[in-house]
Chain A
Amino acid sequence: MKSRDVFSFSFGAVRLRKMRAGLTILGIVIGIAAIVALTSITTGLQVTITSELGAGFSSDTVTVSTQSFRMFGGGTSDFTLLVNDTDTINEIEGVQTSAAIMSKSVMLDFGSTELPLSVTGVEYTAYASIYSSFVAEEGSIPETPVNNSVVIGSRVTDPWDNGTVIAEVGDTILISWTHRVGLEMVEENYTAEVVAILEEIGGFSMGPNDLGLYIPLSTAQSFFDTDEVNSIAVQLVSDDEELIETVSQAIEDAFDGLVTVTSPTALLETMSSVFDIISLFLIGIAGISLLVAGIGIMNIMIVSLMERTREIGILKALGMKSRTVLGIFLTEALVVGLVGAVVGVVTGYSIAMIFAAFSGGLLGGMPGRESSGGPSSSLMTITPILTMDIILGAMAFGVLVAVIFALYPAWRASKLNPVDALRYE
């Protein structure tokens, strides 16, 4: 029997029992849709996060801190980095330049209300050479800044995104910093003149961000009355992985292993392996539903086999070989699996899109128009990603499950003795 005839015969059998076929297909659809939806959402999320992270650093940059950047655990030590530790780092071979970063939480006071933000003390030139996103959109970042200058992130001008402009180039802003002296809380004020507004950066960033306030490092040192810095960003001569490794080691050695050197590549790798685990876990759960669908197929096919025993007897009496009977039953499962997989992929992607639209609105709404808390520094939207790999993988999986679970009933059908099958009532 020609395969085209086998297919049309099988297709006819599936079509005959529409309700039954529909329900069997539904099982596959649910499994595949779950896999596709979860995979495309996690892939989309992964791409969004890594690309936004990636935009925040340059691949030839490492960050030196006393704190672990690892995803899990990691504590702090008593050791602190100081402003002039950059000198030690700059001497290490392979280091292009480095910038000490001093960050404190402050309140931005603009009359009617205050806005909690963080102020960062950096050397503008070194910082800009490390982070390409430290570029002025309005005004200009001075090479030798006057003490009271401040560079602000793009969203600081209009933190609620509703036209309430609170600072423009040339304006002065009042930054107040509260700290403890002995038992008392002391508030210190600093009036700064906005010299530049940064271009929009977006998303996550190790470097500058849209809600940051950047003052000259020397100003920060005197205002906060400290030489301690949070971290030192180090730019290397190239982004060669081996070089990053060697220099990172050299920096750690230079501080007797009391600092942690984080490379963006390593961080991205960690993130991506975490995502892989999450998506594998989710696919595993979706896979269980597909397994259930497979058992459903097997069940239905065994019932169908009983009903069609006589038909199988007739086919065999007409000269059909056992392997053709096997082929007919497997083709029926293939049709069910294929239809289920195609509908499942479409459904899954639609679910992902709906979810994305919903969650996008949710995350987008989070900063809150008039919320009392600080505005979020990022507006994260997930675009589900449906790659050819996901489509083909999910379809292959669906078809495979259908066919594998059909193997046993199909084998039993093919082994039926024509004499007994014809006599079957």
Chain B
Amino acid sequence: MPNLNDILIMLPEFYLVVAACLLLLLDAFMKSTERPMLHWISIAVLLVGIYLVIAGQPAQTVTAFGGMFVRDRVAEILKVFALLTTAIVFVYARPYLIDRKLVNGEFYTLMIFAVIGIMLLVSAGSLVTVYLGLELLSLSSYALVALNRDARLPSEAAIKYFVLGALASGMLLYGMSMVYGASGMGGTPTLDLAQLHHVTSYTTAPKLLLFGLIFMIVGIGFKLGAAPFHMWIPDVYQGAPTPVTAFIASGSKLAAFGMAYRLLDAGMGDLAHQWQLMLAVLAVLSLAIGNLVAIVQTNLKRLLAYSTISHMGYLLLGLSAASPEGYAAAMFYAICYALMSVAAFGVILALARSGFECEEISDLKGLNQKSPWLAFLMMLAMFSLAGVPPLVGFWAKVLVLESAIHANMLWLSLVGVVFAIIGLYYYLHVVKVVYFDKPAEGSVLAAKPDGSLRIVLSLNALALLALGLFWGPLLGWCRSAFGL
């Protein structure tokens, strides 16, 4: 029987489940004219969630439900930023949803359920919790992609996402079953990640364990969107409603990092020498495919999709170091990436209006003439993604490169910088379109008058600059999570 203490440890998650259910009820009994209220209520729900995560943080790592759920600093930091970026996405989404008459409870409840999935995933102490969190996040995401169900492109994207996602889940589950089996050979079978850590020392089936690991890495690679498991990313990014894309590109990536960390370090830490090289290969492939294919994209959302793939390559650089420094660097990277990409999508959302998605790169022509402030914010986001100082994206890259060198993988860091040069081109291309091109004839570019969006977007993009100048505290926080 779960005791009160277990529930208290999981209070933020329980609170969000209750809140999401209440939101659904509220939605059902609300008049359609009152619906926009849901927006503010949902943001408040997430902000209270952040408060609960921070306020209830125990002094040291605690576990609940017999080790199924771990509450430590890694989880805390990831949860705070997942909730924060989702709240930002809500703010950005409002005018977009109103224009397209999509304002209803489904969007908000599904998003909150997805966030609960993220929170479970990053707090997972057992293979079952990993799978549970992952499925909650994934199923909510599938539905979110298909939110605009009458349109062809989103439906296509959702089907693709679902089919490939199901396949990846299957792979992951298959791998988990092998690991579970291997743990039972020569000992008691276990799903607990902390106990799985020691399986290598006694199992009589090391090959089975290794096979399980490989299948689990496929699942992780899919969730991260690392090449060669990246196929779904471009279509889903382009097809999904832009706010949903923003969410998949930000909060969801934090979850993927959390999942990789839990499975690989907590669960399979003893096999680090095995998975290090696998991750390095994934990193090189992601860097190559992401950066090279992005060059030829004309659709901004698709471009950002390939950019995601390349950024996951950098994140993997940090993970493959398999050291606390490397994890801290990768977590710093994941957080910075979430903030950068959500800012880039924020600019798209600030410009989109009914009948105009603003998702072609050429749609941004002459933005500096029409709205210099938005152009400036877009420039900050692009230079940060490209990794040009003094923006925070640069320091994130420096950190993962350093951790790769630290792990005696100088070659990997060289691959990383070479692709940073190639990647620079397409980010500069966007800046070029925004700043150097003249507005097209009859261009309808104009900033949305939505006040909250403007303020939050400005804060979001300026945070990239501010964090670039003062990245010490965030790094210190990330490092403290790994005991540094």
Tell me if chain B binds chain A.
no
Query: Which B residues form the contact surface with A (CB < 8 A)?
Result: none
Query: Which A residues form the contact surface with B (CB < 8 A)?
Result: none
